Structure 1
Amino acid sequence: MELHLKIIGISLMILGCIHIIFPKYFDWKKELSSLSLINRQVMYIHTFFIALIVFLMGWLCFTEARELITTSLGKKVAAGLGIFWVVRLIFQFFGYSSELWKGKAFETIVHIIFSIFWTYISLVFLWIGFQ
């Protein structure tokens, strides 16, 4: 299980860093131009904090895998993270419209990969948290 947490840790740190390209990749300068200043800034700031917390979750998994598995507090943290990622998995299917990926090769591949990834993360955390 420790190896799984290390893999998850590295993956989440990479995912956190990938958020850096979101504004340019999704052309937020153009796409968000019609929003009020507060709404534009909320998008940027919330994305930053999502990236930060995803990175820090990864760092925790990578550096403290043994503690997450063996301590009471670690198991509670893992249970909470498991619940978090299950909710994220649910949103993968019911929060985003399938119009965003259906019939589009790259987007469909990304949807499938992240669905598998969220499932993997959820199962590992829940297994640790509730064993």
Structure 2
Amino acid sequence: MEIHFWIIGCLFIALALSHIIFPRYFNWKQELSKLSLVNRQIMLVHSFFIALMVLLIGLLCLTSAHELITTTLGKRISLGLGVFWGARLLIQLVGYSPKLWKGRLFETGVHIVFTVFWTYISVVFIKTYLA
């Protein structure tokens, strides 16, 4: 099971680092300029802290896999992470309009990759809690 935590840790760190390109890729300078100052700053601050949390979860998985798998506290943390990422999977499936990805090759691929990613992560964390 520890290998799964290592894989998840590496994937989360990569995901956190990918947030660096979000502003340019999603054209945030122009897109967010339409928002009020408070909404623009909320978007930027929240995105930063999401990336930071994803990075920290990745580091936790890399450095504390054994504890997450074998200790009572670790299993409870794994349950919380499983529920959290399970909710993220649900949002992936029903929270985003299919208009964003259907009929678009790259976007459909990203949708599928993240659906598989959130499923894998949720299953590993929940299975860890139940073991």
Could you tell me which runs of 5 or more consecutive residues in structure 1 were left unpaired when the two chains were aligned: none
Q: Give the structure 2 partner of residue 41 of structure 1.
A: 41
Deviation string 1:10-44 (CA, Å, 9 cap, x unpaired) is 00011011011111110011111111001001111
Give the aligned length: 131
Q: Give the structure 1 partner of residue 99 of structure 2.
A: 99
Q: Give the structure 2 partner of residue 82 of structure 1.
A: 82
Question: Structure 1 segments of 4 or more deviating over 4 A?
Answer: none
Could you tell me which runs of 5 or more consecutive residues in structure 2 were left unpaired when the two chains were aligned: none
Q: State the identity %.
A: 59
Aligned-partner Cα distance in 2 for 1:2–1:16: 21
Aligned-partner Cα distance in 2 for 1:4–1:82: 13
Query: Normalising by the residue count of structure 2, what TM-score does the alignment of the two structures yield?
Result: 0.98
Aligned-partner Cα distance in 1 for 2:130–2:44: 35
Alpha-carbon RMSD:
0.5
Query: Normalising by the residue count of structure 1, what TM-score does the alignment of the two structures yield?
Result: 0.98
- CA-CA distance at 1:130 after TM superposition: 2.1
Q: Give the structure 1 partner of residue 4 of structure 2.
A: 4
